[in-house]
Structure 1
Amino acid sequence: MASFLSSFVNLNSPLSLYTIPVVWFTGFYPHTLKFMTIDKLIGYNNTLPRSSDAKSATGKVPQATQLRLARMEGAHANGNEAMPLWFAAVLAGNLAGLDTHWLNVMALSYVATRVAYNTTYIYYNDVAGGWIRSFFYFFGLSFPLRILFKAASQYAAQHA
């Protein structure tokens, strides 16, 4: 089974486009986690869903939980802010015809940094955790930028 699957899916297969929904999920799951936490602790108001945010839990949950809810919101917002750059990079890389293996390595590395970023953002509430989170953010940012610059160079060379 493994050899059958590996004949279709490997780093030389065009996997990078599949990271678009995966990266969307990495931006969305902190919001879902926040929703599930609020629902479990104080109940979720589905008639006014945006009222069920970290601020609505103030005084109703322990401060540590309140801070974690705020960090979940922050991770979700950051994922939404980073998403367009990733989508553009993957599309540009594929349209420019970048090497599939290299593009897949960049794509999987970016997904890994987004997961690491969210994990440190949500679960670590200290100065060191903040610095580690910032490291993952900026390291992760290097992947779409490298793809975009390489795609632009390759496209320019093809159309010179």
Structure 2
Amino acid sequence: MSFSLDSPLSLYSIPVVWFTTFYPMNMKFRLITKHMGYNNCQPRANTKKILESGSVPKDIAARAERLEGAHLNGNEILPMWIGAVLAGNLVGLPNSTLNTASAVFIALRICYNTIYINHTTAGLSNLRTVVWLASMGVPITLFVKAANLLHSKSA
């Protein structure tokens, strides 16, 4: 089986994008486990506990909070990505369009997470916002292209 930009690959981007939402949470789990122990009975309270702990350095606690933020942001954008990919496939957007959008979106989400997890300055937080805006443009573009194609088919 050979792959090209014209192969129907965009649906594979959905689990890949899900992974980009999952790995910051996994990194947070390992960080908290290492520095204070992870409470699996109340997992959603761990970030608050590490922030309030006087025994964990503030930079470590801040990193745990940023990891959680990256995870939550990914969860917020995931439904939009799923909808855009499904809409594009449903109306028959070209595979090359869907595949290119998928690759760009995945790259932007990885870039976003990297900046979010590691930034400690206002300048980098502004860059994170720019990357987020760019990443939001990808599913919006797919929705618009899908709507335009559907509209042209009904005319």
| Matching of residue 47 in structure 1 with residue 47 in structure 2 | no
Aligned to 2:25: 31
| Matching of residue 82 in structure 1 with residue 80 in structure 2 | no
Counterpart Cα distance in 2 of 1:46 and 1:127: 33
1:43 offset after TM fit, Å?
0.8
| Matching of residue 19 in structure 1 with residue 17 in structure 2 | no
Aligned to 2:90: 95
RMSD: 1.1
SS at match of 1:47: coil
TM-score normalised over the length of structure 2:
0.94
TM-score normalised over the length of structure 1:
0.92
Counterpart Cα distance in 2 of 1:33 and 1:60: 20
SS at match of 1:52: helix
Identity of aligned residues (%): 44
Residue identity matched to 1:10: S
Counterpart Cα distance in 2 of 1:107 and 1:35: 28
Residue identity matched to 1:123: N
| 1:60 counterpart (50, 55, 64) | 55
Counterpart Cα distance in 1 of 2:132 and 2:45: 29
Counterpart Cα distance in 2 of 1:21 and 1:40: 28
Residue identity matched to 1:40: K
Give every structure 1 segment of 4 or more consecutive aligned residues whose post-TM-superposition deviation is greater than 3 Å.
Answer: none
Please say which of residues 98-107 and 56-65 is displaced more in the overlay.
56-65
1:125 offset after TM fit, Å?
1.1
1:46 offset after TM fit, Å?
1.7
1:83 offset after TM fit, Å?
0.8
Aligned to 1:123: 118
Aligned length: 153
Structure 2 residue runs of 5 or longer lacking an equivalent are none
Aligned to 1:108: 103
Aligned to 2:132: 137
Structure 1 residue runs of 5 or longer lacking an equivalent are 1-6
